[in-house]
A and B are shown apart, each in its own frame.
Chain A
Amino acid sequence: MNPELATPADDPKRLSVKNPPPLKGFAPVFTWGSRLAFRPRRFLLIAAVAVGLGALVGISGVDERSPFAQKDKWFYLWELLDKQTLQYLLPLCALLFVTPGFSNEVSQRTLVYHLVRPVSRSTVFLARFASGVLPAVLVGTLLLWSVLWTSGLSVPTTVWMAVPAVAALSALLLGSLYYMLASIFRKGMIAALVYTFVIETMFIAARGSVQTLSMSYHVRSLYRALVNDEFAERSRYVADAIDPDGLLFRPGVENLAEAAVTMLQKPTYSSGPTAVITAIVLSAAFLAYGVWRTKRRDFPLKD
């Protein structure tokens, strides 16, 4: 050790114990969190897995052995995106990038260094959330694009352009929910997985307004608002459904036709603006609760 290199005495202003302004220190925590989230090896691995999963979903849609693909590839692609991808795969991006932001600081005990700095707990909490959203949006977009690309269909530009918005809403809404769960439960990732695969499934399976309790309902609302017209134009079943010649009731296609009609019944889902506003309000509420808990909580940070 070299005592000659002592840091010079500080200026008196810096020794003030006044609380810093709100969100002071947000930028460095956000930058640091982004650096951790975009760690090349981890980020590329997750992105590659996401693209691979998306490709599997897309290829399954064009597989000629699939009875769905033989009948109506457009409708099947729409459904693949709406159900499997938006409900189960896209939330995984938020789970992997947003959820660990703060809980990793707690579990790895590096939070201790933030607690003894003149940065409020809420700033650290919110900045680490924000730093996880962008990589979740990027990987979510890649995932959805890979589904579109491998479907083999000539997907219109509007649908390609809608994907980042849907991925962003998913990262924001589900990310904030998972983030809040991670501030409540010690095993936040497991709580988030249980929520996604059990509770969300129950909400979606329910009928009527109970569905609106599902978070992916709002993401799917935006998706439907942005892409339904494009898919409806190209879907044979949708055409059948609205065809006055009675093809709707052709034997063997009732269920799909019914689904196609449902697809067009936008009033059963929220409109695009309503979905976005609802998602933002819910996200703000989840984050506010997380901040409230974090500010009150003890952090023993034991080994």
Chain B
Amino acid sequence: MSETPSIALTNVSKWYGEVMGLNDVSVEFGPGVSGLLGPNGAGKSTMLKVITGMLRPNLGTALVCGRKPFDNPGVMRRVGLVPEQDAFYPHAAILDVITYLTRLQGYDKAESRRRAMNNLERVGLGHVMDRSAAGFSKGMRQRAKLAQALAHDPDVLVLDEPLNGLDPTGRREYAALIRALGDEGKCVLVSSHILHEVALVARRLVVLHNGRVLAEGTAREIREDLSEYPLTVHVQTQDGEALAPLIVSLEGVGRIEHAPTGLIVRTTQPNRLFDEIGAMAAEGKVTVEALDPVDEDLEAVFRYLTQ
């Protein structure tokens, strides 16, 4: 048994008939917030369902806190889940629903109710706790799902598209809470198909596409691993007119655009471009003030990886 909250997938494959949900995925998550990123159908939800024991891998091993999660209720004491789907009992007050779900963690009725109330207050639903979730907005339902996931103070927290439907203020608050949970040492895994959502909360990213892990690390680390992918470079120079014909024939260079501050160059071999321009500048052929990659942000990384 692992005391440290952790998730480990080793060579995990999961398929539905002929459709591959996960394809030989090996990845680990420890304390802190990690982001699971990928377009719709990439396998994010399948991975989260394997982690939370709803699906059994066809191949490979999934471990949560050192235990296999499928039909293993013991390990679920340490797990909290915010599912993607809005599933709530429509005929019961949200306080009663969360009290019931917290009772299943082994608390008595009074303690379950106290925790449910506390967490509904925590997520900003204290004023509507006697109402059914059926009348809630999407954002309120997201908060309610978070409240049920936090009520037993889990140290592995899995959040599937948690920021969907939240207004900007709610999104900021929710993201701050997720970061705080990560800072407490909990293993928090957040999935999303929207980059800026993940960027709000996670330092470490795992990019999934077609059931495979395309990359993992920080955004910068991932970008550094992608030397063969095209990069857009801003060459700050007053000699754009002279520089363009010199670099157009370089291997890997694609489109060149003139900009007020120099050239925007797209290349598949950025290191070579940097070396050649550096050499030209050293020889005095051109004057170059700076070379800046302009698309090292998450959006570009994601686009490169999934294209």
> CB-CB contacts of B99-118 with A at 8 A, as 1s and 0s?
01101111000000001001
**Cα distance A24–B73 in the bound complex, in angstroms:** 10
Of B55, B74, B100, B176, which is within 8 A of A18 by CB?
B74
Which of B75-83, B218-226, B238-246, B260-268 is the interface stretch? B75-83
A29: Cβ under 8 A from any B Cβ: yes
Question: Across the interface, which residues of B come within 8 angstroms of A113, CB to CB?
Answer: 81, 83, 87, 101, 148
Of A14, A24, A36, A302, which is within 8 A of B89 by CB?
A36
> CB-CB contacts of A260-281 with B at 8 A, as 1s and 0s?
0000000000000000000000
Q: Given A17-B78, A20-B74, A119-B104, do A300 and B87 touch, yes or no (CB 8 Å)?
A: no
A298: Cβ under 8 A from any B Cβ: yes
Question: Across the interface, which residues of B come within 8 angstroms of A302, CB to CB?
Answer: 85
Question: Across the interface, which residues of A come within 8 angstroms of B52, CB to CB?
Answer: 115-116
Query: How many pairs of residues, A versus B, come closer than 8 Å at their CB atoms?
Result: 138
Question: Across the interface, which residues of B come within 8 angstroms of A15, CB to CB?
Answer: 77-78, 155
Question: Across the interface, which residues of B come within 8 angstroms of A10, CB to CB?
Answer: 152-153
Which of B120-128, B287-295, B299-307 is the interface stretch? B120-128
Chain B nearest CB from A117 CB (Å) reads: 4
**Cα distance A296–B55 in the bound complex, in angstroms:** 10
Complex: chain B residue closest to A1, CB-CB: B173
**Cα distance A303–B160 in the bound complex, in angstroms:** 13
B91: Cβ under 8 A from any A Cβ: yes
Question: Across the interface, which residues of A come within 8 angstroms of B152, CB to CB?
Answer: 7, 10, 14
Of B79, B119, B121, B174, which is within 8 A of A116 by CB?
B79
**Cα distance A257–B169 in the bound complex, in angstroms:** 81
Question: Across the interface, which residues of A come within 8 angstroms of B49, CB to CB?
Answer: 299-301
Which of A104-112, A191-199, A225-233 is the interface stretch? A104-112
Question: Across the interface, which residues of A come within 8 angstroms of B115, CB to CB?
Answer: 7
A295 touches B71 (CB 8 A): yes
B: contact size bracket: 35 or more
Q: Given A1-B177, A29-B104, A298-B56, do A116 and B74 touch, yes or no (CB 8 Å)?
A: no
Of A6, A32, A117, which is within 8 A of B76 by CB?
A117
A187: Cβ under 8 A from any B Cβ: no
Complex: chain A residue closest to B88, CB-CB: A110
**Cα distance A1–B92 in the bound complex, in angstroms:** 23
Chain B nearest CB from A22 CB (Å) reads: 11
Of A19, A36, A296, A300, which is within 8 A of B72 by CB?
A19
**Cα distance A113–B115 in the bound complex, in angstroms:** 16
Complex: chain A residue closest to B70, CB-CB: A298
A209: Cβ under 8 A from any B Cβ: no
Of A17, A121, A298, which is within 8 A of B77 by CB?
A17
**Cα distance A112–B65 in the bound complex, in angstroms:** 20
Question: Across the interface, which residues of B come within 8 angstroms of A20, CB to CB?
Answer: 73-74, 106
B124 touches A25 (CB 8 A): no
Of A17, A18, A118, A303, which is within 8 A of B104 by CB?
A118
Question: Across the interface, which residues of A come within 8 angstroms of B16, CB to CB?
Answer: 300
**Cα distance A232–B67 in the bound complex, in angstroms:** 64
B54 touches A115 (CB 8 A): yes
**Cα distance A32–B106 in the bound complex, in angstroms:** 15
Question: Across the interface, which residues of A come within 8 angstroms of B121, CB to CB?
Answer: 2, 5
| Interface core residue of A35, A108, A301 (most chain B CB under 10 Å) | A301
**Cα distance A5–B125 in the bound complex, in angstroms:** 12
Chain B nearest CB from A273 CB (Å) reads: 37
A14 touches B87 (CB 8 A): no
Chain A nearest CB from B46 CB (Å) reads: 8
B106 touches A118 (CB 8 A): yes
Chain B nearest CB from A177 CB (Å) reads: 24
> CB-CB contacts of B153-182 with A at 8 A, as 1s and 0s?
101000000000000001001101100100
Question: Across the interface, which residues of B come within 8 angstroms of A296, CB to CB?
Answer: 71
Chain B nearest CB from A79 CB (Å) reads: 40
A3: Cβ under 8 A from any B Cβ: yes
Of B54, B77, B78, B155, which is within 8 A of A112 by CB?
B54
Complex: chain B residue closest to A295, CB-CB: B71
B87 touches A118 (CB 8 A): no
B150: Cβ under 8 A from any A Cβ: yes
Of B54, B89, B174, which is within 8 A of A1 by CB?
B174
Considering the complex, which residues of chain A in the window 114-155 have a beta carbon less than 8 Å from any beta carbon of chain B?
Answer: 114-121
Q: Given A118-B73, A300-B54, A303-B85, do A5 and B153 touch, yes or no (CB 8 Å)?
A: no
Q: Give me the 4 closest cross-chain CB pairs, A-B, nearest first.
A: A109-B87, A19-B74, A117-B104, A5-B122
**Chain B residues at the A interface, C-beta cutoff of 8 Å:** 1, 16, 49, 52-56, 65-67, 71-81, 83-85, 87-89, 91-92, 100-101, 103-106, 115, 118-119, 121-124, 143, 148, 150-153, 155, 170, 173-174, 176-177, 180
With A9-B153, A14-B105, A295-B71 known, 6 other A-B pairs at CB within 8 A are A1-B173, A2-B124, A109-B83, A110-B87, A113-B81, A116-B79
7 pairs of residues in contact across A and B, judged by CB atoms under 8 Å: A5-B119, A7-B118, A18-B74, A19-B73, A112-B83, A114-B104, A299-B49
